[in-house]
Amino acid sequence: MHTTHFRNLLYLRWQKVIVGALLLGQAILFSANAQTSSYYRKHLEHYDDKPVHYGFLFALPVTRFGIVHSNTFLTQDTLNRITAPATAGFRMGFVVNGYLNDSWDIRTTPSVSLYDRRVQYEYAKGSTRNELREATWIEIPVLFKYKSQRRMNTRMYMLGGMTFGFETNVRKRLRQGSDFLNTRGSDLTVDYGFGLEQFLAYTKFSPEIRFSHGILNLFRSNDLNTVSNGIRRLTSHSVTIYLMFE
């Protein structure tokens, strides 16, 4: 009777040992997985504690003119089409970002842009003529940025606002007395876009796509250029890829 009782006790303890070993192994595995998943360095952890951040940018704008034809274009028979093909430019500048709250920032990116906007005329006889508007612009936007919650080292955002720009080589172009396309030297655009903030060890890298639509008429009539009389309104349109470092 005593031996049976001893075996029963040993059997119960052996079950407890097995259950305890399984629980201990599970706890060790859970701890190891937790340490592995949490071992992810958060860069620039206190980045949002500063009210203002500065940086620089490089950008590739693809731009074109939006054309509205005049009544003269409808009545003449020598010109079939007036189009504005998209052309690539280059932009570089600075970034100034101000913290408003956990969801909103205010931002400006003053920059210098090099544009080669083109207008193409297609005549009834099959010939074509291209007018290239090479210009250097200084552009100063005011943008509001709505940002998502930060997930470790990544954060998405959207932004919108307006940009004022002015051309820096207007006098030189006007002194030429050219019979080519003439445009105004200032513009105002509506901008919107989205981007991604990637926090690195020593900086924040932000690729961004921004769309711009001009609201001012850039066309300036020129009596020497009778072909351009087929144009009533020119507006600027561009899609820009930004690479920003803050």
Q: Which of 109, 120, 8 is nearest to 61 (CA)?
A: 109
Task: Give mean pLDDT, residues 211-221.
Answer: 91
Burial class of residue 198 (count of CB atoms within 10 Å of its CB; 0-12, 13-18, 19+) = middle
Residue 243 has pLDDT above 70, yes or no: yes
Separation CA 123–CA 226 (nearest Å): 13
Task: Give mean pLDDT, residues 28-48.
Answer: 65
Pick from 18-22, 38-42, 191-195 the range whose average pLDDT is largest. 191-195
Measured between alpha carbons, how far is residue 197 from residues 156, 219, 239 in Å? Answer: 6, 38, 19
Separation CA 147–CA 104 (nearest Å): 6
Question: DSSP letter at 177?
Answer: T
One DSSP character per residue, 122-160 reads: EETTS-EEEEEEEEEEEEEEEEEEEE---BTTEEEEEEE
Burial class of residue 51 (count of CB atoms within 10 Å of its CB; 0-12, 13-18, 19+) = exposed
At residue 24, the pLDDT reads 56
Q: Read off the pTM.
A: 0.78
| Range of weakest confidence among 101-105, 112-116, 219-223 | 219-223
180 neighbors 139 (Cβ within 8 angstroms): no
| 120 Cβ contact list (under 8 Å, min separation 6) | 81, 82, 83, 84, 85, 128, 129, 130, 131
Task: Give mean pLDDT, residues 157-178.
Answer: 76
Tokens of 181: 């396309």
